[in-house]
Amino acid sequence: MAEDFTATRATLLSAFRSGQGATEFLVADAVRVLGATWPTPTRVIDVATDELLAEVLQSSPVFPVWLEQMMTAARRSLLFSAPNEAFAPLRSWIAIQCHLNEHAWAEDATETRLVEILAASLQDLTPEQVMSLASYRPLARLPGADSLLDKGWTGPVEKVLREHIIAVREEQAIADALPTLTPITGAVSEAVRSQYEAHPYPRWRRAGPGAVQTQVNGRRLPKDPTVFIAGCGTGRQAILATMMLEARHTLAVDLSRTSLAYAVRKSRELGIADRITYAQADLLELGDSVGPFDIVQSAGVLHHLHDPFEGARKVCRLAKPGGFVALGLYSARAREHLKPGKALGKIYTPDTVREFRQDIIARPQNDPVRIPAVASRDFYATSGCRDLLMHVQEHELNFDDLRRMLRENDLTFLGFLQFSFQEIRDAYLARFPHDPQGLDLDAWEAFEADNPATFRRMYQFWAQKAE
């Protein structure tokens, strides 16, 4: 007997609409339900009113490959189909999805020709045609796009115009007004800044905060803390930290003004802009003009600096004596499997990421380039693919590097985030029962040697600065 997913669907829809719960886990669970409940083969009419699909498409870049290809086919079908009011919601969901994934999906020559015709006659398009066009091109970049806002359209197309044009214009105005704490110096900082100006990473719509965090491995965090986010990108980390740490105030900095503008807009949207200050800064240039802070966080940033150890010194210096530090750094062992894909990525350019992705998708299932790429959620958006396989600057670290970083900054290791994942925790404790708190770095080094995927999401750990 086929499993009844009615209750699961209802639970997932409620979680999406409440705004609570980690988006990546909700999307993954929802995709499994969609795959198990849709008919095979699946037609556009079969999914046009699927509310769970709507939440998925409007939450984050869709994965895995089968769902991307199914939605790519649906987009094509809608492009060439006659207007049909029943398909209007699906058109809007796909248009918003393609804005999130930065139009990373494949298109053929016939699609390109029709899209170019639509773009050339923008003022004469119907709402359905505008939504189809938005599924292939960023509307805000097309000449005359702003005049679409004067048409007084309502319904699904209104949501698309808000996402594609109104939000983009708001971000452009924010970027122009952002404060600058330091100049951007050095070739590496400038190259990294340029990458994220072109492709802010990641695009997201739901923050998905979890429970309030009051302690780390038995050590109580300060109440109403001040927080510093070093390299905040598009703001999700800063927003989650502010909400989950119940921060009194957060200062979040980044190289990219485009990324920061996205962060400001999302903070306003969530009603917490008064608790977060965003500013452009080069971490290696930060002096004594900011801080100290109760909590300092930097995830996925230090390994993109010219010197990650100097970056760690700059960041950790901003924590108060006795303050807490949370860092996220690439593991060389965990990223070994990405080397073939990164080598292939050197053949492509920032303007040919779509072709690069299709090259990977088209490879055999057991291809060493394809396997790790399609397994990563970053692969499913243009900015994410660049960050994963085509980054302009990247260091990969090991346990000796972590020990050095802790030693140089007078930090006490408080544990890896991965220890909170039940499967990893159980496997670790089965092998190292002497370490119930997961604080033995030598044991973790041995564990990673046998389980290279453990830190695929980076070495993510908490530490405390000496008094």
> pLDDT tens track of the chain, all 467 residues?
457 899 999 999 999 999 888 888 999 999 999 999 999 889 999 999 999 999 999 999 999 999 999 999 999 999 999 889 999 999 999 999 999 999 999 999 999 999 999 999 999 999 999 999 999 999 999 999 999 999 999 999 999 999 999 999 999 999 999 999 999 999 999 999 999 999 999 989 888 888 999 999 999 999 999 999 999 999 999 999 999 999 999 999 999 999 999 999 999 999 999 999 999 999 999 887 888 999 999 999 999 999 999 999 999 999 999 999 999 999 999 999 999 999 999 999 999 999 999 999 999 999 999 999 999 999 999 999 999 999 999 999 999 999 999 999 999 999 999 999 999 999 999 999 999 999 999 999 999 999 999 999 899 999 999 99
* pLDDT attached to residue 210: 85
279, 260 Cβ separation under 8 angstroms: yes
Residue 370 CA neighbour count, 13 Å, CB half: 12
* pLDDT attached to residue 287: 80
Q: Which CATH superfamily is domain 187-333+396-465 in?
A: Vaccinia Virus protein VP39 (3.40.50.150)
* Domain coordinates in residue numbering, the chain: 6-172, 187-333+396-465, 336-389
Q: What does each C-alpha distance from 287 to 137, 138, 282, 318, 409 come to in angstroms?
A: 42, 39, 10, 9, 16
- Identify which of 11, 76, 13, 18 has the alpha carbon closest to the alpha carbon of residue 43: 76
- Identify which of 127, 139, 64 has the alpha carbon closest to the alpha carbon of residue 98: 139
Q: Round to whole Å and give the CA distance between 442 and 199.
A: 38
92, 57 Cβ separation under 8 angstroms: no
Which residue type sits at 179? P
Q: Round to whole Å and give the CA distance between 175 and 279.
A: 10
* pLDDT attached to residue 137: 98
Q: What is the rounded radius of gyration, in angstroms, for the C-alpha atoms of the chain?
A: 23
Report the DSSP pairing between strands 215-216 and 411-416: unpaired
Q: What is the pLDDT of residues 183-202, one digit of tens each?
A: 999 999 999 999 999 999 99
* pLDDT attached to residue 1: 42
* Full strand arrangement of the beta sheet holding 411-416: 276-280, 249-254, 226-230, 293-299, 319-329, 459-465, 411-416
